[in-house]
Structure 1
């Protein structure tokens, strides 16, 4: 599962890294990105733009958005088997921009939060899916996304039994957005990231609340 992450890199750095420009106002740094927030993503339909979408997928076929489940994650292994995700895998893929993510390790004394990031500390992209929901009364369109997860690598295995799919390089990011590739070719990209290129450390329980969206949540636990 991936329920919190960070995206703290400045807008110019993100634009240079992902070869895309922000559509309108860019979001400020988020040290504790949480579901329901609007966060930067790149859609396969507009690979040159960085847009802010709501985290928590609202499928286009939903009738009552307030009552609908809003999955924040989708399992890589079953995407092609579930009708709700199969069409999105074919038509609506996204890069979810991030520079680290959090996971909670179950211990005898309670759940302990850890922060995972690349050794380089550079921004990266999660593989994601997106959709648009249309309010037929007001005409308002709500775009939203979910993050794809897979089995853990050796770094993550002792912390949690799932991890988000971090696309390993620019070639993989472009391939994920490429509409000319087949579903099996896209699915082949959904693998655990190389453990040797990542590191992790414990952080304080400040991160437990999305209200704490400040640099202090990045500090190693005492």
Structure 2
């Protein structure tokens, strides 16, 4: 599993019936910039999926993204935190939507607990096999959406080490 997946990078996702796909992180809006410089949409608010035309058509194309953790920036001074499983084991399984082609976007929810101190949003994680089955199973979105809530109790955040300033060449 890569240490860090950035928007437009390829990532392994799990679809219904346990199918694996290699998809690009970030979906493109059909009405977006056609010059080739369009920025992908990497996150979707789980609370408003049904209200947004971009996501409404993908509600039955649910996938999950296994990850060791993620990085989150905190505050105006942009302090970096590494967020991962509380028990140090993984992987985490994040809820996502697939565009039916080559791309996916992660779902977010309001952060709670210790995560709210770092950022007001967080990825939606599927905390156990029952939640994963509810999200990835053949159930309609109306039934599956119950898992789209914070699960910060399963997470641990630690400030990333501050990098040393670049040292000039001595010779």
Q: What is the TM-score of this pair, normalised by structure 2?
A: 0.85
CA drift of 1:49 comes to 2.5
Report how far residue 161 of structure 1 moved. 0.6
Match of 1:71 among 41, 59, 62: 41
RMSD (Å) for aligned C-alpha atoms:
2.2
Partner of 1:92: 61
Q: Secondary structure at the match of 1:34?
A: coil
Q: Which runs of 5+ in 2 are unaligned?
A: 164-171
Give CA deviations for 1:44-78 in whole Å, capped at 9, x if unaligned.
3xx33322110011357879482544200000110
Question: What is the match of residue 50 of structure 2?
Answer: 80
The answer as to whether partners of 1:114 and 1:200 remain within 8 angstroms in 2 is: yes
Among 94, 104, 121, the residue aligned to 2:73: 104
1:117 to 81, 84, 88: 84
Number of equivalences: 162
Matches for 1:129-140 after TM superposition, within 5 Å: 129-133=97-101
The 1-side partners of 2:90 and 2:100 are apart by: 30
Alpha-carbon distance in structure 2 between the residues aligned to 1:202 and 1:66? 35
Q: Is the CA contact (8 Å cut-off) linking 1:40 and 1:53 kept in structure 2?
A: yes
In structure 2, how many angstroms separate the alpha carbons of the residues matched to 1:67 and 1:35? 13
1:107-161, CA deviations, whole angstroms, 9 ceiling, x for partnerless residues? 5xx211111111222102100001144xxxxxxxxx1000000000111111101
Q: Partners of 1:84 and 1:170 in 2: how far apart? A: 28
Structure 1 match to 2:131: 172
- Displacement, 1:198? 2.1
Structure 1 spans left out of the alignment, 5+ residues: 1-28, 134-142, 207-222
Q: Given that residues 152 and 162 in structure 1 are in contact (C-alpha distance below 8 angstroms), is that contact kept between their aligned partners in structure 2? A: yes
